[in-house]
């Protein structure tokens, strides 16, 4: 167990108790010795020794011998306890009588070395009630220096011999204790920017391998105005089609040693699950923008432009040019907004990346005034551009010639995501021993189903 002030105080209290008991034993022995001397003086004046007196003397002698032996034993116990307290306080670096580990670097190193030695004893099955824990600061420091190299090497064979030797001082070959002086239980994670089209699109859970959506691809014919007795003629009807959204599968299979799972200073299994989930989420979102549709969802940026401007074409998304090959323009933004049919504008959003938001904020009028005035975000009103909300999506391209930098429209009408299966985990500890395989799967699909509800803003070439 770690050295604590409570343990030291307990030992000190026990030492005082033994000292008090020893003093009482000493006084009792002196009393018995005085009685013995008195009896000896009495018998020396008699000519004959009484047998009862002999028994009394023997009893007193035995008592004195026992008390003296106890006294000597307690003296050795007191000496041992005193030394133990001294040793514990030396390791504890206790400042005065306040107790606890001191705040100095030396004291922290001593405490970590103490815990390090204790973990070694536990791993070797040698920690018991009588175990003596002696912090070896030098061995602990060698372990701390070697540990980062061990983590990066990924295997013993990739480590240098001196690093292997240092790691064997405090660790079994495969796992490592991952408890060093500077190794926190937290893991500082790198942040990856992503998008959230899922929040804007239509999301449908399904139980099969694909979703089929009927689609009206035309309109009914009009026969004209007729008089009271005019015979009507047949008019045309609309054609129906269908959109199919297939489910696709993604996977990841990270592997971790069994001993790493057992001995790491943080929850490795939860860490792996979190990293896999984050990666799946980002890959999925990217596919909703740029996916090819082959073994993955198809993205909104992968469809061609209308063949004729303003003329609806199934299987294409209209692109509105900006009018400048290197920058956004006010005229281009207005053309984009008013190219969308009024039916879709109540739920319309702008979709653009962080850097494109920056470029929009820089737009100025002829007098140098910024054109985009953001609304009061603190009051709950989102940032608006031409009275429409702005949503960031880091998978949208930057402003550059030919890029589709901004999307505008009703994305719930445009894009449908199908969820067949969330992330499932197969934990395999048999086929790759001593490695544990974490086989993660996710089945999801996505595609455009309404090709007129969103317009894309293309930077002119």
- Last residue of one domain, picked from the residues 92, 120, 150: 92
* Cα–Cα dist 17/10, whole Å: 11
Residues 58 and 24 both lie in one domain: yes
More confident residue, 79 or 392: 392
Domain hosting 76: range is 5-92
Query: Which class for 296: exposed (0-12), middle (13-18), buried (19 or more C-beta within 10 A)?
Result: buried
On whether residue 180 sits in a domain, the answer given is no
Q: Is pLDDT above 90 for 25?
A: no
Q: Are strands 248-252 and 388-392 parallel, antiparallel or unpaired?
A: unpaired
More confident residue, 138 or 88: 138
Nearest residue to 280 via CA among 250, 253, 300, 248? 250
* pLDDT given at position 400: 93
Q: What is the mean pLDDT of the chain?
A: 75
On whether residue 445 sits in a domain, the answer given is yes
Q: Is pLDDT above 70 for 367?
A: yes
* Cα–Cα dist 119/123, whole Å: 6
Is residue 258 a contact partner of residue 278, using CB atoms and an 8 Å limit? no
Residues 262 and 411 both lie in one domain: yes
More confident residue, 94 or 438: 438
Query: Which class for 367: exposed (0-12), middle (13-18), buried (19 or more C-beta within 10 A)?
Result: exposed
pTM value > 0.75:
no
* Cα–Cα dist 349/200, whole Å: 9
- Helix and strand numbers (H, E) in the chain are 10, 13
Residues 38 and 166 both lie in one domain: no
Nearest residue to 451 via CA among 185, 169, 241, 147? 241
Q: What is the widest separation between alpha-carbon atoms in the chain?
A: 168
On whether residue 60 sits in a domain, the answer given is yes
CB atoms within 10 A of CB 305: 16
Is residue 178 a contact partner of residue 263, using CB atoms and an 8 Å limit? yes
Residues 294 and 349 both lie in one domain: yes
On whether residue 228 sits in a domain, the answer given is no
Using a pLDDT cut of 90, give the percent of the chain over it: 24
* pLDDT given at position 299: 94
* Cα–Cα dist 431/427, whole Å: 11
Query: Which class for 12: exposed (0-12), middle (13-18), buried (19 or more C-beta within 10 A)?
Result: middle
- Last residue of one domain, picked from the residues 92, 126, 150: 92
State the average pLDDT over residues 340-353. Answer: 94
Nearest residue to 401 via CA among 324, 290, 318? 324
Query: Which class for 200: exposed (0-12), middle (13-18), buried (19 or more C-beta within 10 A)?
Result: buried
* pLDDT given at position 65: 60
Residues 344 and 204 both lie in one domain: yes
On whether residue 143 sits in a domain, the answer given is yes
What value does the CA radius of gyration of the chain take, rounded to a whole number of Å?
42
Cis peptide before 434 (omega within 30 of 0): yes
| Lowest-confidence region among 11-20, 302-311, 365-374 | 11-20
More confident residue, 246 or 78: 246
Residues 50 and 153 both lie in one domain: no
More confident residue, 251 or 48: 251
State the average pLDDT over residues 363-374. Answer: 77
Residues 385 and 449 both lie in one domain: yes
Residues 411 and 297 both lie in one domain: yes
Q: Is pLDDT above 70 for 192?
A: no
Greatest mean pLDDT range, 72-81, 191-200, 429-438: 429-438
On whether residue 225 sits in a domain, the answer given is no
* pLDDT given at position 336: 94
- How close are the terminal C-alpha atoms of the chain, in Å? 71
Residues 242 and 121 both lie in one domain: no
Residues 119 and 214 both lie in one domain: no
On whether residue 306 sits in a domain, the answer given is yes
pLDDT-based confidence at residue 453 (cuts at 50, 70, 90): very high
More confident residue, 165 or 212: 212
* Cα–Cα dist 59/32, whole Å: 10
Which residues, other chains included, contact 318 with Cβ-Cβ below 8 Å and sequence gap of 6+? 305, 306, 309, 310, 339, 452, 455, 456
Residues 371 and 251 both lie in one domain: yes
Query: Which class for 224: exposed (0-12), middle (13-18), buried (19 or more C-beta within 10 A)?
Result: exposed
Residues 109 and 88 both lie in one domain: no
Total of domains in the chain: 3
- Last residue of one domain, picked from the residues 58, 92, 126: 92
* pLDDT given at position 156: 53
CATH of the domain at 351: 3.30.2400.10
On whether residue 30 sits in a domain, the answer given is yes
Burial 334-362 (b: 16+ CB within 10 A, else e): ebbbebbeeebeeebbbbbbeebbeebee
């Amino acid at each position: 167990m770690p050295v604590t002030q409570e343990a030291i105080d307990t030992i000190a209290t026990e030492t005082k108790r033994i000292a008090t008991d020893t003093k009482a034993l000493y006084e009792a022995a002196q009393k018995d010795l005085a009685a013995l001397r008195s009896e000896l003086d009495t018998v020396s004046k008699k000519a004959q020794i009484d047998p009862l007196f002999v028994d009394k003397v023997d009893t007193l002698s035995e008592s004195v011998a026992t008390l003296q032996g106890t006294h000597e034993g307690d003296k050795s116990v007191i000496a041992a306890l005193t030394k133990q307290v001294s040793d514990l306080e030396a390791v504890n670096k206790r400042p005065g009588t306040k107790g606890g580990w001191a705040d100095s670097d030396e004291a922290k190193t001593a405490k970590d070395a103490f815990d390090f030695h204790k973990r070694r004893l536990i791993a070797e099955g040698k920690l018991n009630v009588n175990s003596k824990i002696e912090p070896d600061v030098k061995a602990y420091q060698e372990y701390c220096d070697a540990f980062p190299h061990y983590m990066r090497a990924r295997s013993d064979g990739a480590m240098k011999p001196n690093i292997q030797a240092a790691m064997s001082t405090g660790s079994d070959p495969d796992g490592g204790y991952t408890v060093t002086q500077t190794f926190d239980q937290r893991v500082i994670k790198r942040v990856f920017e992503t998008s959230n089209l899922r929040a804007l699109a239509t999301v449908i859970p399904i139980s099969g391998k694909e979703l089929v959506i009927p689609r009206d691809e035309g309109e009914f014919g009009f026969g004209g105005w007729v008089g009271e007795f005019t015979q009507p003629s047949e008019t045309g009807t609309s054609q129906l089609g269908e959109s199919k959204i297939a489910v696709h599968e993604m996977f990841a299979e990270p592997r971790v040693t069994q001993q790493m799972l057992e001995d790491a200073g943080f929850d490795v299994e939860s860490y792996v699950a979190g990293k896999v989930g984050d990666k799946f989420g980002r890959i999925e979102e990217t596919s909703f923008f740029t996916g090819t549709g082959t073994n993955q969802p198809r993205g909104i940026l992968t469809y061609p432009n209308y063949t004729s401007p303003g003329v609806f074409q199934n299987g294409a998304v209209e692109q509105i040019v900006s009018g400048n090959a290197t920058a956004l323009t006010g005229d281009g933004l207005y053309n984009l907004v008013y190219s969308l049919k009024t039916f879709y504008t109540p739920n319309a959003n702008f979709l653009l990346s962080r850097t494109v938001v920056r470029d929009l904020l820089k737009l100025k009028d002829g007098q140098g005034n910024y054109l985009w005035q953001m609304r009061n975000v603190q009051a709950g009103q989102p940032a608006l551009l031409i009275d429409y909300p702005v949503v960031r999506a880091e998978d949208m391209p930057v402003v550059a010639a030919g890029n589709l930098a901004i999307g505008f429209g009703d994305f719930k009408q445009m894009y449908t995501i199908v969820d067949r299966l969330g992330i499932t985990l197969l934990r395999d500890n048999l086929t790759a021993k001593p490695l544990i395989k974490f086989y993660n799967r996710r089945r999801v699909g996505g595609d455009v189903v309404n090709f007129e509800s969103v317009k894309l803003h293309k930077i002119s070439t």
